[in-house]
Homo-oligomer: A and B are copies of this chain.
Amino acid sequence: MRNFEYHNQTKLIFGKGGEQKAGTEMARCAKRVLLHHSGGHPARSGLIDTIKKSLEDAGVEWVELTGVQPNPRLSLVYKGIELAKKEKVEALLAVGGGSAIDSAKAIALGAVDGGDVWDFYDGSRVPAGALPVAAVVTIPAAGSESSVSSVITNEKGPWKKGANYECTRPVFSILNPEFTYTLPPYQTACGVADMLAHVMERYFTTEQDHQLTDQLCEGTMRTIIHNARAVFEGGRQNYNACAELMLSGAIAHNNLLSMGRIGDWASHGIEHELSARYDIAHGAGLAIVFPAWIAYNIKEEVANGVQPVRFARFAAEVWGVDGACYDCAQAALEGVFRMRSFFQSIGLPLTFVDAKLPADHIEEIASQVTRNGLIGNYTKLDKCAVEYILNSVKQS
């Protein structure tokens, strides 16, 4: 087990009616906040009104910035920074999913800085701090609600870049599973793929000794799969299944599951390029890329005379593949098959064709993904490997 530090200070407020606490929690760190959301469903459902009332009751003033969209845009972040400075807000309150929270994190960084916030995403500068960020989560998946991560799309590129700064970890996040009842099924499915991917990126590691975190990862993945099935098989208002998904999404990405190990993150790197270029939902992109990444690794290990034991274990523990019925490589591949079937069963694309993406820029995408060198940790991928992975999922 590697040396590590784990320090997650986000307060999770989980369950029915949690949104009523937004005001009192916010009042602990700010008297004036920027309320940030899409302007769509959270507003129509009445949630924004409830939050505004809660803020007012707690004596917290608010200004509002709507317009957040999936793959949140740098242009809106700039607008938010200007507004935050002009209105002298002391904190950000995001309402929505990962896009709203990530956008709020970027605004929080820029609001206390005199330069270009994009510097913190392209790595040319490190931030000195940020305004406090808090969240009311309406979409299970992102994990951004208790993580240090945010991902912003710069339309000029298009470039999609992630940043990890401790100062952007939310001070509190309110998670009420009831908010997720009315999500479009496709959005729920994308969330499921995203949270599974957050665990898998941590699970596929070359560290040899990490029994506790393996067990925690496998338990979390089984919970996600089981409850996604429950929700998609008619349980859209199944409180407990929605609650398990929402909680799993938060746990999947708060680094508890990384303790003592280094994750991979190549699939995320590849997907970010797809969603920056084609504006596909992040989870949908991951449903295409991640199984292909696993299949590539199994092929490579077999070709090199190595038993793909990590992927066979994944197949057994997460997808219920009975090791007695298969040899190691077959079991590993059966795991990939079941994972793809699962994604398909909840309406996710498995190929470029399924997602209606053009497949004629794969070489260019692979070049872009590897522009700074090899990516990933479980295996280091070069441009050829990324190209192979993407070509393997051009069509069924």
Q: Please provide the chain A residues from 1 to 52 with a CB less than 8 Å away from any CB of chain B in the complex.
A: 1-18
- The answer to whether A1 touches B209 (Cβ under 8 A) is no
Residue tally, chain A, CB below 8 Å to B: 41
In the complex with contacts A2-B15, A5-B12, A5-B13, A259-B243 CB distance below 8 A: no
Residue with the highest number of chain B CB atoms closer than 10 Å, among A16, A218, A219, A256: A219
Q: Is A215 an interface residue (CB 8 A)?
A: yes
Copies of this chain, whole number: 2
A 243-264 to B, binary, CB cutoff 8 A, 1 in contact else 0: 1100110010000100110000
A1 to B250, CA, bound (A): 15
Q: Is A304 an interface residue (CB 8 A)?
A: no
- The answer to whether B11 touches A243 (Cβ under 8 A) is no
Which of B1, B177, B219 is in CB contact (< 8 Å) with A212? Answer: B219
| Residues of the B chain whose Cβ atoms lie less than 8 Å from the Cβ of A10 | 7
In the complex with contacts A14-B259, A251-B212, A1-B243 CB distance below 8 A: yes
- The answer to whether B243 touches A209 (Cβ under 8 A) is yes
| Residues of the B chain whose Cβ atoms lie less than 8 Å from the Cβ of A12 | 4-7, 259
| Residues of the B chain whose Cβ atoms lie less than 8 Å from the Cβ of A223 | 211-212, 215
A92 to B383, CA, bound (A): 53
- The answer to whether A6 touches B1 (Cβ under 8 A) is no
- Some 15 contacts from A to B, beta carbons below 8 A apart, are A1-B244, A3-B17, A5-B11, A5-B12, A7-B11, A9-B9, A209-B243, A211-B226, A211-B244, A212-B219, A212-B220, A212-B223, A212-B247, A215-B219, A215-B220
